């Protein structure tokens, strides 16, 4: 790796600010972005050589640690063989192998994979498949149901099934109507299920979409598997398709490889995947569906074809990364890592729960969330959020609170990466 001077860091910041518009970032915000030049395990190295612990898996995508050699090697090898090929009328070995190896791991009997390139598109594909499923069967079902407070992405369809608020207010008039049912938090389970029963009773519901077991961007809000099982039962008994948006929960975050594996009775008809899918190396989205969903599209009538596709559908580099990442995810050592992180979260949770600044503590597998007492607004924009973000960053830890909810979602990487020399050192606040 080449050496970067402090000068090049300031230089990058200046040039960045001149030309680049960052996600979820105010153009009026004065905070300079931090140039990162290298990553290893849970560590990100800045242009100045400072090491920052990535406590949120770089927006929930990194799975086995940064720059994992197994995945990096698989991408490099693939790049030398085939970097991209049109996926209509053509295929390639990495896509076929990924489908063969991933489908049996998914909850329920998933028959086919449809490729796209991010979480929002995986959701768009699932919504369009569900609506066209009913169209192809000549049954007039148009209504979509989602949970209040949901987050399914930033494209229009994904925004429409997401909770309405500041993030999508400018577009509200352009979002199609969706029926929202209460989030099944403790004490509200029956209200949620009753609202669902009422809606599916109308006979016009096409599909219900949920983030299984926990809403991520909505504040790491969790609900029990038994409630989700009941929710799917109510929907599927009425013929309604169930879409599990496992974009965040997939690949071990909730303890099991997929959140829906924790259900005792039901499984989704459609599953959306992205984020951890490639270990956080390449953008890739997947929508899996059951044979029953696919059946509605097996028709020679061209009106019943699913006309959807992206230029980079099933990009070979992304598929190679996903295959390598899946291999790691299925290894004993990764399972042990997940268990070790869950145990360490549980121990910390029981300790920190007594802290006077902590209102609530929640854990789901490798995700730990602390709801802090704020005394003021708990919205995403409250001032404490920025203070907390800066507090940890000053101590070389990257956390990105959702309003007053501070959460940990570390990469599930090898212990040797997590207990390196840097962890032993007591981080000093930087001024
Ligand atoms: C992040 C996220 C998405 C959107 O994925 P992008 O790749 O950011 O478009 C969709 N659903 C859930 C549950 C997510 O957490």
**What pLDDT, in 10s, does the model give residues 113-148?**
999 999 999 999 999 999 999 999 999 899 999 999
For ligand 1, atom 5, the nearest C-alpha belongs to 119
Is there a contact between 104 and 177 (Cβ–Cβ < 8 Å)?
no
Burial of 144 per CB tally in 10 Å (0-12, 13-18, 19+): buried
Burial of 69 per CB tally in 10 Å (0-12, 13-18, 19+): exposed
Lowest mean pLDDT among 262-266, 331-335, 386-390, 425-429: 425-429
Ligand 1 neighbours, Cβ below 6 Å, are: 118-120, 123, 151-153, 211, 216-217, 245, 247-248, 274
pLDDT at 426 over 50: no
**What pLDDT, in 10s, does the model give residues 366-400?**
999 999 998 765 566 677 889 999 999 999 999 99
- CA gyration radius, the chain: 22
Nearest to 413 by CA among 78, 117, 118, 58: 58
Is there a contact between 250 and 61 (Cβ–Cβ < 8 Å)?
no
Kindly indicate whether the domain formed by 9-55+340-408 is annotated with CATH number 3.30.1060.10. Answer: no
Q: Beta strands of 47-204 (E only): which ranges?
A: 51-54, 110-116, 143-147, 179-181
What is the number of H-type helices and E-type strands within the chain?
A: 14, 16
Q: Which helix (H) or strand (E) holds 370?
A: strand 367-372
pTM of the complete model: 0.94
Candidate from 221, 247, 287 with most ligand 1 atoms within 8 A of CB, to mutate = 247
CA of 149 to the centre of ligand 1 (A): 14
* H helix intervals, 20-172: 57-60, 69-81, 93-102, 119-136, 156-160
pLDDT at 429 over 50: no
Q: Are 9-55+340-408 and 71-330 the same fold in CATH?
A: no
Percent pLDDT > 90 in the chain is 89
Is there a contact between 258 and 246 (Cβ–Cβ < 8 Å)?
yes
Is there a contact between 220 and 249 (Cβ–Cβ < 8 Å)?
no
**What pLDDT, in 10s, does the model give residues 23-44?**
999 999 768 899 999 999 999 9
The domains of the chain are located at 9-55+340-408, 71-330
Candidate from 61, 125, 126, 152 with most ligand 1 atoms within 8 A of CB, to mutate = 152
Kindly indicate whether the domain formed by 71-330 is annotated with CATH number 3.40.640.10. Answer: yes
pLDDT for res 1: 46
Confidence of residue 428 (pLDDT cuts 50, 70, 90): very low
Cβ neighbours of residue 56 under 8 Å, at least 6 residues apart? 398, 399, 400, 407, 408, 409, 410
Furthest-apart CA atoms within the chain: distance in Å: 67
CA of 217 to the centre of ligand 1 (A): 9
pLDDT for res 417: 52
Query: What tokens does 322 get?
Result: 């996903």
**What pLDDT, in 10s, does the model give residues 176-212?**
999 999 999 999 999 999 999 999 999 999 999 999 9
């Amino acid at each position: 790796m080449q050496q970067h001077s402090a000068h090049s860091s300031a230089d990058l910041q200046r040039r960045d600010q001149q030309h680049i518009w960052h996600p979820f970032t105010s153009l009026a915000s004065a905070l300079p972005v931090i140039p990162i030049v290298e990553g290893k395990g849970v560590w990100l190295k800045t242009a100045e050589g400072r090491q920052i612990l990535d406590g949120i898996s770089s927006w929930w995508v990194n799975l086995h640690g940064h720059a994992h050699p197994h995945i990096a090697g698989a991408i490099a090898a693939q790049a030398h063989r085939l970097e991209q090929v049109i996926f209509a009328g053509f295929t390639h070995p990495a896509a076929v192998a990924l489908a063969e190896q991933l489908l049996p791991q998914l909850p329920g009997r998933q028959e086919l994979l449809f490729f796209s390139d991010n979480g929002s598109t995986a959701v768009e594909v699932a919504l369009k498949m569900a609506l066209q499923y009913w169209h192809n069967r000549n049954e007039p079902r148009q209504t979509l149901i989602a949970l209040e407070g949901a987050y399914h992405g930033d494209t229009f369809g994904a925004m429409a099934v997401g909770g309405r608020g500041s993030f999508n207010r400018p577009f509200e008039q352009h979002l199609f109507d969706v029926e929202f049912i209460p989030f099944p938090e403790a004490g509200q389970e029956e209200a949620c299920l009753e609202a669902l029963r009422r809606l599916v009773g109308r006979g016009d519901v096409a599909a219900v979409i949920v983030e299984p077991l926990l809403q991520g961007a909505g504040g790491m809000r969790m609900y029990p598997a038994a409630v989700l099982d009941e929710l799917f039962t109510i929907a599927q008994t009425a013929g309604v398709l169930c879409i599990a948006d496992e974009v965040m929960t997939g690949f071990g975050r909730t303890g099991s490889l997929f959140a829906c594996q924790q259900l005792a009775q039901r499984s989704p008809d459609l599953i959306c995947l992205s984020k951890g899918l490639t270990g956080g190396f390449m953008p890739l989205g997947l929508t899996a569906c059951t044979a029953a969903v696919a059946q509605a599209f097996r028709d020679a009538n061209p009106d019943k074809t699913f006309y959807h596709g992206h230029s980079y559908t099933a990009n070979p580099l992304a598929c190679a990364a996903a295959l390598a990442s899946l291999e790691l995810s299925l290894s004993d050592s990764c399972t042990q890592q997940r268990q070790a992180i869950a145990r360490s979260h549980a121990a910390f949770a029981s300790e920190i729960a007594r802290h006077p600044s902590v209102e609530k503590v929640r854990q789901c597998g490798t995700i730990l969330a602390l709801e802090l007492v704020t005394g003021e607004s708990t919205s995403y924009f409250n001032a404490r959020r920025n203070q907390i973000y800066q507090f940890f960053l000053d101590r070389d830890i990257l956390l990105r609170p959702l309003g007053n909810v501070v959460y940990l979602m570390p990469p599930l990487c090898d212990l040797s990466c997590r207990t390196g020399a840097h962890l032993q050192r007591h981080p000093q606040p930087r001024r």
